[in-house]
Amino acid sequence: MLDETAARDRALDAAAELFYSRGIQTVGMDAVRSASGVSLKRLYQLFPSKDQLVIEFLRQRDSRWQQAVEAHVNARTDPRDRIAAVFDWLYGWFSEPDYRGCAFINSFGELGAISPGVTEQARHHKKVFHDYLTGLVDDAGGSAETAQQVALLAEGAIVTSAIFGKPDVAHLARDAALALMRS
């Protein structure tokens, strides 16, 4: 029998894969049970509602996503190169075979009107990302307005790539961001 941490990790990993690949509303707790091997009783002990499982999935995804972006950016030292690195990381993400867009935008689209917790997690994730970009732009000598524009370029690239399946939009957005930094 799995200990609580192992059962929780397996359930979250299964939920993350299913929610991201299929959508949240189409995935029931029974599907998470089947994919994780965690009994339905244990699953509900760990996450008393599907909404709690979704919120924990989003919290975990936020942390992992931000860490991955920061690790990639931190390999660069020049402030403008660090801005470009965000978009280069996005290109790599967009190029993954299972890329389905932003889990936060997707979950907000599915549940934002009925789940305050999902709305809170989506807003938190976007605020942290935008604040991070603001710091990078500030370090490179850009204005607060330029930082907002760079964030819009990143968000637009995320949505556009998901809809059209073209990772190249990350490079177009990168080039536009760097042009903004030169102006």
pLDDT of 170 strictly over 90: yes
**Residues 58 and 74 occupy one common structural domain:** yes
Structure confidence at residue 1 (pLDDT): 66
Q: What is the pLDDT of residues 20-32, one digit of tens each?
A: 999 999 999 999 9
Structural domains counted in the chain: 2
Q: What is the pLDDT of residues 58-94, one digit of tens each?
A: 999 999 999 999 999 999 999 999 999 999 999 999 9
Please check whether residue 13 is in contact with residue 48, taking contact to mean a CB–CB distance below 8 angstroms: no
Does the reported pTM lie above 0.95?
no
For residue 183, the model assigns a pLDDT of: 84
Read off the pLDDT band of 2 (50, 70, 90): confident
Rounded CA-CA distance 77/174 in Å is: 17
Express each pLDDT in 86-102 by its tens digit: 999 999 999 999 999 99
What is the CATH number for 13?
Answer: 1.10.10
CATH number for the domain including 167?
1.10.357.10
